[in-house]
Structure 1
Amino acid sequence: MKRHTVIDSPYGPLTLVAEDGVLCGLYMTEQRHRPAEETFGPRDATLFGATEEQLEAYFAGELKEFALPLSLHGTPFQRTVWEALRQIPYGETRTYGELAEALGNPTASRAVGLANGRNPIGIIVPCHRVVGANGSLTGYGGGLDRKQRLLNLERAGGVTALF
């Protein structure tokens, strides 16, 4: 059974979703490919203490790598891409082409981009660390402004450095 809560963040409200007690979704407001609210299950903030603590530490620049159990629902290819995203170090970026090459399929950069866009656990599975071939910001489900702010956060080592 799914349950959810909504928490505040420097990037606006974040909806956290768990299935059978394991995080399966982190969605921003007005996020592209955001599931319908009714699929999130009832509100229950009791399941998300560790997630909230780690997100707070990440936003403060104190956490570089999340250590949470995740339940990623998608196709086998999507799950492979999402696992590759988790291997991109904090503060670094990769291009879609570099990810495709790392996955052993250098011609799959568009497919990697599509899978990246369907990432159900934003921030924790760091799809914001993927950029265009020339280093430019390209699509981000939470909006390019948020993507830039998340990259700035990681480069500066904490959200307080952004203001």
Structure 2
Amino acid sequence: MPWGKVPTVWGVFYALEEGGAIVALRFPNQEPGGPLQESPVFGVLAAELSAYFQGGIKGFSVPVRLEGPPFFRQVWEELRRIPYGETVT
């Protein structure tokens, strides 16, 4: 699975892609070990993250595959249901 650099206005993120979907995203200063590779999905993700951070878009077209224990996946799915700009307590 290739890790790739995803430059944004907040710095360089690192994404892990498998089968055309993002399966992990690391924040700047959390560079993964091992070689970095290119993937078309990284370019799309970089453009969408930059647009999102600048308020230009409210959602993403890049496929994301959530991986983890069942409880984690359930929490992440609930978080994805929170509309843009809203908070939930």
TM exceeding 0.5: yes
SS of the residue corresponding to residue 8 of structure 1 reads: strand
- Give the alignment of 1:49-68 within 5 angstroms: 49-68=43-62
Aligned residues: 89
Gaps in structure 2 of 5+ consecutive residues: none
Higher Cα Rg: structure 1 or 2? 1
Q: Measure how far apart 1:42 and its partner are.
A: 4.0
TM-score (norm 1): 0.48
Is the contact made by 2:17 and 2:24 (CA closer than 8 Å) also made in structure 1?
Answer: yes
Is the contact made by 2:41 and 2:62 (CA closer than 8 Å) also made in structure 1?
Answer: no
Task: For 1:56 and 1:30, locate their aligned partners in 2 and report how far apart those are by CA, in whole Å.
Answer: 17
The alignment's C-alpha RMSD in Å is 2.1
Q: Measure how far apart 1:10 and its partner are.
A: 2.4
Q: Percent identity at matched positions? A: 36
Would you tell me which structure has more helix in proportion to its own residues? Answer: 1
Code of the residue aligned with 2:25 in structure 1: it is L
Would you tell me which structure has more strand in proportion to its own residues? Answer: 2
Q: Measure how far apart 1:72 and its partner are.
A: 1.2
TM-score (norm 2): 0.80
Q: Deviations over 1:61-86 (max 9, x none)?
A: 11112222111110111111001111
Gaps in structure 1 of 5+ consecutive residues: 96-163
Q: Measure how far apart 1:93 and its partner are.
A: 1.7
CA 1:67–1:46 in structure 2 vs 1: closer, same or farther (change >3 Å)? Answer: closer
